[in-house]
Amino acid sequence: MAKQSANQVTGFSVGRLNGFTDGVLAIVITLLVLGIDIPEGHKFSEQGLITFLLKISRDVLAYAASFLLIAAYWVQHNVVFQFLRYCNRSLMWFNILFIFPLTLAPVLTKLKVIYRDDVLVVPLFGSAFIVSSLILTGIWRYAVSHPELLGDTGIDPSVVRSMQQRIMIGCLVCLIAVCISFLSIDLGTVIFCTLPLFYLSHRKVDINLATK
């Protein structure tokens, strides 16, 4: 397909799509903290702050994992859409599908806190983020296969591959965390927290973005 110039494109601006995504994820990430409960029966005047912090440590760890995962997905989503100049209806619906599993994070985090020793809750928790990774990969593949969404600029094939690999890292890290959780739930949760570090890889994407 020949590359179309900007004045030939009849697509929509990505501004409103990004604004909607930012707003939804901002609400989701704020609601997460409501999952941290004050332990029933804790006597603050007698048991002290340290005992209280130890009681809620696993709750805080689950909150941190969800917070960091959503933040990482928001950053990666932002990077993907920095390459786009336009969107169409199909891309809008793909984006809504990407958001949906992430909106479940507060509920899944609460379940993870309530059933903290039930290993079966971890695959349920991780599945939401795995699905979002797969959908974001689909969004990227769809976008690069429609040059009219990129405006007057193309994308180097090596950047296309690098971006896809970096997105799929999210899926891989979540799968590893789920598998590790069958040995240690807390260790698996810690691995979920490491996803932002892995998103620092494949810097070719960021270098190319800086030159756009």
pLDDT of 113-163, one tens digit each? 889 889 899 999 999 999 999 999 999 999 998 888 886 667 888 888 888
* Mean local confidence (pLDDT), 82-95: 91
Angle at 159 between CA 199 and CA 3, to 5 degrees: 135
DSSP-assigned letter for residue 2: P
**How many Å apart are CA 80 and CA 18, to the nearest integer?**
11
Q: What angle do CA 100, 29, 99 make, to 5 degrees?
A: 15
| 141-148-166 Cα angle (round to 5) | 25
Residue 56, amino acid? I
Give the mean pLDDT of 42-70.
80
Distances (CA, A) of 47 to 41, 59, 195: 10, 19, 35
Q: How large is the average pLDDT for residues 9-25?
A: 84
The Cα 69–Cα 92 span in angstroms is 22
pLDDT single digits (tens) 168-198: 988 999 999 999 999 999 999 999 999 988 8
Is residue 139 a contact partner of residue 90, using CB atoms and an 8 Å limit?
Answer: no
By C-alpha distance, which of 140, 128, 103, 89 is closest to 24?
103
Average pLDDT over residues 95-119: 92
User: Taking residues 74-102, what's their average pLDDT?
Assistant: 92
Q: DSSP state, 12?
A: B
Q: Round to whole Å and give the CA distance between 26 and 147.
A: 30
Q: What is the pLDDT of residue 2?
A: 41
How does residue 209 score in pLDDT terms, banded at 50, 70 and 90?
low
Q: Report which of 126, 198, 207 is spatially closest to residue 166, judged by C-alpha positions.
A: 198
Instruction: Locate all alpha helices (DSSP H) within 83-156, ordered by sequence.
Output: 89-103, 105-114, 121-144
- From the list 177, 201, 200, the residue with the least C-alpha distance to 62 is 177
Of the candidates 103, 104, 110, 105, which has an alpha carbon nearest to the alpha carbon of residue 59?
110
Above pLDDT 90, what percent of the chain?
Answer: 48
* Whether pLDDT at 1 is above 60: no
pLDDT of 8 reads: 46
Mean pLDDT over residues 95-118, rounded?
93
Among 12-16, 107-111, 153-157, the least confident range: 153-157
In percent, the amount of the chain with pLDDT more than 70 equals 83
43 band by pLDDT with thresholds 50, 70 and 90: low
Q: What pairs with residue 87 in β-bridges?
A: 12
Instruction: Supply the pLDDT for residue 70.
Output: 95
